[in-house]
Amino acid sequence: MKGLILAAGHGTRLRPLTYARPKPVIRVAGRPIIAYAVENLLEAGIHDIGVVVSPKTQPDVAAALEGHPDARFTYIVQEDPQGLAHAVRVARDWLGEDPFVMYLGDNLFEKGVAGLVARFQREHPSAAIALVEVADPRQFGVAVVEEGRIVRLVEKPQTPPSNLAVAGVYAFTPEIHPIIADLKPSARGEYEITDAIQGLIDAGRRVLGVPVEGWWKDTGRPGDLLEANRLLLQGMSPGVEGTVEDSELLGPVVVEAGARVVRSRVLGPALIAAGAVVEGAYVGPYTAVGPGASVCDAEVENSILEERARLEGVRIYGSLLGVAAEVKKHAERPQTPRLILGDLSRVEVPE
C-alpha cells in the first residue's frame, strides 16, 4: 500500500506566513506539520510515500523531509493545483494499481491513521473515509452515513445534511482512478474528491465512514495552528538535554540538546528546541520556541516562534513568528501586542 501526501496548495488563509513557505512546513510543537503525516503513515505500515508538490513548494517540502528514516519519498509535481481529485490524477502513474492512503499535508490527527488503514485492509471496501463530528460543517465535505456506509457526500453545503465532516485522510483502491478520469470541474472550478467518492457510491461500491479517534485539526488558519500547538504540547513527555542555568522549569518542559535556558522561568507545557536561547525571560504554557530562536529579556505565552525568530524586551501572547522574524522593544509606552508575522519580517513595539 502506498501513501500520497498533498502539499501543493497555496495556503492563502495563512498569509502572510505562507508567502515565503508552504503551510505543511510550518512548525507546530517544534516539528513541520508534514512530518506528523509521515510519522502517521509509517506507523500504519506505509513506507512508499508520494508527495504532491508545486514547483514553488517542492524545495521547502523536500528540505523539511530530508533524511527522514524509513520513508521512501517520490516527489510528484502538480503545476497548477485544481483540487484534491486533480492531485490524484497527477499522481496516477506513480500510484499504479496499488491501493493508497491520501493524506492532506496540513492536517493533524492525535491518534494517527493506523486504525483507518487497518479497517480498510480488513474489510476491503472500495474506499474508507475519515469522518469527524463538527459544530459547523459548512466549510467541509459532509457525509451521510447509514450502517457505517457513506451513502451521500456534499462539498461545503450551505445546508449540511449531517454534522459529519470529511477529515483529511482517505483510503482508496484503484477503482477511484477511472472515476477521477471522467470528473468534470465543480462550480468553483476544481476537481473535487467528494465528487469522485460520490461516483463510487453511485456505482454501487462500498465506501466506509470511519470515525476519527482522538482530536483532529485542519491547520487552515492562525488560530488553528496555535490550537494544534497546544494540543501537541499537552501530549509530550518532559525532558532536558540542553543547558539550564539559574532557571526554574515547572510542568512538562522539553529543552532539546543544544538549547540554553539561563536566568529564566519556563512553565510547561513548553518546548525549547535545539539551538534556541532563552535568557532573562519568561516562557509560558503552550509555547514552542523553534530551533535557533531566541527569547531575551522578554515574556511569551501560547505562541509559536519559528526557526531563528527573535524576541527581545517585549511581552507577547497568542502570536506566530515566522522564520527569522524579529520583535524587539522600541521607546514609547508598554503594550501587549498580538502578532502574526511572515518569515523575515521585523516589528518594533513600544517599550
| CATH assignment at residue 299 | 2.160.10.10
303 close to 226: Cβ distance less than 8 angstroms: yes
Q: Is the pLDDT of residue 331 over 70?
A: no
Q: What pTM was estimated for this model as a whole?
A: 0.89
Does 259 lie in the same domain as 183?
no
**313/174 Cα distance (integer angstroms):** 57
Q: Categorize the per-residue pLDDT at 332 as very low, low, confident or very high, splitting at 50, 70 and 90.
A: low
Question: Are residues 279 and 227 part of one domain?
Answer: no
The verdict on 30 and 122 lying in the same domain is yes
> Which are the contacts of 39, defined by CB distance < 8 A and separation ≥ 6?
112
CA–CA distance, 43 with 30 (Å, rounded to integer): 20
Element of type H or E holding 302: none
- Domain stop point among 194, 214, 232: 232
- Which of these three, 232, 254, 284, is where a domain ends? 232
pLDDT score at 308: 94
246 φψ region: left (φ > 0), alpha (ψ -120 to 50), beta (else): left
Can you give the pLDDT at residue 68?
82
Q: What value does the mean pLDDT of the chain take? A: 90
Query: Is 90 exceeded by the pLDDT of residue 20?
Result: no
| Residues 44, 178 within the same domain | yes
Residue 96 pLDDT > 80, yes or no? yes
pLDDT at 329: 82
Q: Give residue-wise pLDDT tens across range 291-307.
A: 999 999 999 999 999 99
Q: Are residues 339 and 198 in the same domain?
A: no
* In the predicted structure, residue 289 carries a pLDDT above the cut 80: yes
pLDDT at 317: 92
Measured CA to CA, the distance from residue 317 to residue 93 in angstroms comes to 47
Span 304-325, mean pLDDT? 92
Domain-terminating residue out of 232, 250, 281: 232
Share of the chain above pLDDT 70, in %: 93
Q: How far apart are CA 89 and CA 282, in angstroms?
A: 50
**From the centroid of its chain, how far is CA 62?**
16
Domain count, the chain: 2
Does one domain contain both 14 and 132?
Answer: yes
Nearest residue to 207 (alpha-carbon basis) of 175, 185, 237, 177? 175
pLDDT band at 17 (very low <50, low <70, confident <90, very high): low
Question: How do the residues of the chain divide into helix, strand and coil, expressed in percent and rounded to 5?
Answer: 25, 35, 40
Domain range for 278: 236-350
pLDDT digits (tens, 9 = 90+) for 145-186: 988 899 998 888 888 899 999 998 999 999 999 999 999 988
Interatomic CA distance for residues 103 and 113, integer angstroms: 9
How far, in Å, CA of 89 to CA of 208, rounded?
22
Instruction: From 29, 26, 112, select the one nearest 64 (Cα to Cα).
Output: 26
Indicate if 10 and 138 belong to the same structural domain.
yes
pLDDT of amino acid 351: 62
For residue 52, the domain's CATH number is 3.90.550.10
Residues 6 and 48 occupy one common structural domain: yes
Are 195 and 285 members of one domain? no
Does residue 208 share a domain with residue 243?
Answer: no
| Per-residue pLDDT at 21 | 74
Output the nine-digit C-alpha cell for 35: 512530518
Q: Are residues 331 and 194 in the same domain?
A: no
22 with 138, same domain: the answer is: yes
Containing H/E element for 3? strand 2-7
